[in-house]
Each structure stands twice: as C-alpha cells, then as structure tokens.
C-alpha cells in the first residue's frame, strides 16, 4: 500500500513523534541531548520553522512544530539523519536509530495548542520519572517556568492564551498544567482523528486543510540520487559505496544510504 501524502501548508502546526527503532534508547547521556538541542536550533535557523514545545524521553521525542515554507518532511529527515550520524559515531554503531516513519499529526491550534503543550510536558509524569514536570530537565516546561532559557524555543503563542503580561501568563500556564497532571494517555494526540490519522481538529478545520492541500511537488529521489548524495557527503569517489572496504566509515555510509532510500524514496531496499 502506498504511503499517504504528508499534508503541508505554511503556518501549519504538527505534533511530531520520533521513536527509537525496536523501542531502543536514542539518548544515552547529557551530551546526546545537548547535541539534539543544537541540531534543533540549527534546523530552525536553516528552515525557518518554530518549536513551541518538546520533551526528550529516553527512547522517543515529542515536538510541537509550526512550519513555514519548508515541508515538515525535509525538516525531520534532516534532524533524524544528522542525529543518527552523531549517535552512530559516539556509540561505534551502524544502522537505523529511529523507528520507520516518524509520526506527524496536523493539529488545529485554536482548539488544541494549549492542551497539547501540557500533554507533551506531562510525559515524564505519566512515565513516573518525576513528581513535578519542572523537575524534568529535558522538556520545554522548565523554559515555560522561567527556570532556563532556550533562545530557539518559541513560547509566546502558548503563553499568549493567558494574556500579554508574561509573568502572569507563566503562572497561569503552570497552574493549567498542574490541573492536568492526573490525566492519562490521550490517543487523539498520538494517533490523530479516527477518520484520518494525519489530522486532529474540528470539522471546519478539516475543511480548511482540505482546501489548502496541494499535489506533492517535490520529486522523490531515486536510488541513484541517494547514492550520489551519500558519496558526496562522505567524500567517496563515484561508485565508492560498492567497493570491498569494510571500514566503519563505509559501513555507516551504506547504512545512511539504506536509511535515505527507505525514508525518502518510493524505491525498495532490495
């Protein structure tokens, strides 16, 4: 069955979930998480999108992202590719880090932006890692609570629900999250609408999305395109991926080529 087209239009909000392959860990220590922060910041500078909230768990990541002109697929593929290279280098490993295709749900911001941010921040509570979300070091909740500063994190769209006075808005937001602490898992935030798992919103929002949907314009890369790009990335000569070299660099290059074909192309690994 063909994969369903990603929905893109400038200004759209997405709840993105990246999971480790076979539920394996994707973060091993603080250095990994800080590297992920850096890659998020570099991606924002390059592609012009916004991150409104996030939570880095041990084996998966939640992001609330608002895109601009660059499609979400390009943003997340770049992030996943670069972070996989980092982990493979640090852990002396090869192969896939993330599970299949990332999950992305286009969200009706007017209806769900505030509630979804709270849901993302409460992941460590539901996992029983901390008793207060402000004690979890690897989510945007501490920045919302003014406990740390992340220059690439955009908090005003969420805090703006509570007024223009940022100090009062922060307190009101923290109280809102506290009121939701006993809420459990929400299928809608992780699985989307029952009729279309790519979307979450009221009927008028769905109608608006359908009107904005455009045919996919970007040509998906062929295997030749992928191999050429990977050879350039790793500084290999033309045809270098098929030589008998069994070094770590060559193994990683072949692994990245396989990952790119699986994630970005309609062609098969076979």
Q: What angle do CA 109, 110, 111 make, to 5 degrees?
A: 90
Q: What is the pLDDT at residue 200? A: 77
CA atoms within 13 A on the CB side of 218: 16
* Mean pLDDT comparison of 64-73, 229-238, 249-258, 260-269, highest-scoring range: 64-73
Cβ(70)–Cβ(48) under 8 Å? yes
- As given in the structure block, the two tokens for residue 117 are 């941010």
Specify whether domain 13-217 bears CATH 3.30.70.1290. Answer: yes
Is the pLDDT score of 221 beyond 50?
A: yes
Q: What is the pLDDT of residues 155-200, one digit of tens each?
A: 999 999 999 999 999 999 999 999 998 876 777 787 666 557 787 7
Residue 88 and residue 120 in contact, taking contact as beta carbons nearer than 8 Å: no
Every domain of the chain and the residues it spans? 13-217, 219-270
C-alpha angle with apex 239: 237 to 241, nearest 5 degrees?
A: 90
Reading the block at residue 16, the tokens are 């993105």
CB contact at 8 A, 139 and 54: yes
Segment 238-253, tens digit of pLDDT: 887 777 677 777 888 8
> Which pTM was predicted?
0.77
* Residue 102 Cα distances to 78, 136, 167, 255, angstroms: 12, 24, 35, 18
Burial 77-100 (b: 16+ CB within 10 A, else e): bbbbbebbebbbeeeeebebbbbe
pLDDT score of 214 more than 60: no
Is the C-alpha dihedral spanning 52, 55, 56, 62 positive or negative? Answer: negative
* In the block, residue with structure tokens 């004690």: 135
């Amino acid at each position: 069955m063909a994969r369903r087209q990603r929905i893109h239009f400038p200004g759209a909000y997405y709840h993105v979930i990246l999971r480790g392959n076979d539920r394996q860990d994707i973060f091993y220590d603080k250095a990994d998480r800080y590297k992920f922060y850096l890659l998020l910041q570099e991606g924002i500078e390059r592609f012009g999108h916004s991150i409104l909230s996030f939570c880095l768990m041990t084996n998966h990541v939640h992001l609330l992202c608002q895109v601009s002109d660059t499609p979400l697929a390009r943003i997340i593929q770049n992030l996943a590719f670069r972070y996989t290279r980092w982990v493979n280098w640090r852990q002396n490993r090869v192969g896939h880090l993330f599970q299949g295709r990332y999950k992305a749900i286009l969200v009706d911001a007017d209806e769900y932006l505030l509630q979804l941010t709270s849901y993302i921040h409460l992941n460590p509570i539901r996992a029983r890692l901390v008793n207060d979300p402000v004690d979890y070091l690897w989510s945007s909740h501490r920045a919302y609570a003014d406990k740390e500063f992340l220059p690439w994190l955009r908090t005003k769209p969420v805090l703006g629900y509570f007024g223009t006075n940022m100090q009062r808005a922060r307190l009101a937001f923290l109280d809102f999250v506290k009121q939701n602490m006993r809420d459990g898992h929400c299928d809608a935030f992780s699985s989307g609408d029952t009729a279309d798992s790519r979307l979450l919103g009221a009927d008028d929002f769905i109608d608006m999305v359908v009107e904005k949907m455009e045919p996919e314009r970007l040509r998906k890369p062929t295997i030749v395109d992928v191999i050429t790009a990977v050879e350039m990335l790793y500084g290999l000569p033309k045809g270098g991926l098929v030589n008998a070299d069994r070094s770590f660099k060559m193994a990683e290059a072949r692994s990245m080529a396989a990952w790119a074909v699986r994630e970005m192309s309609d062609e098969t690994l076979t």
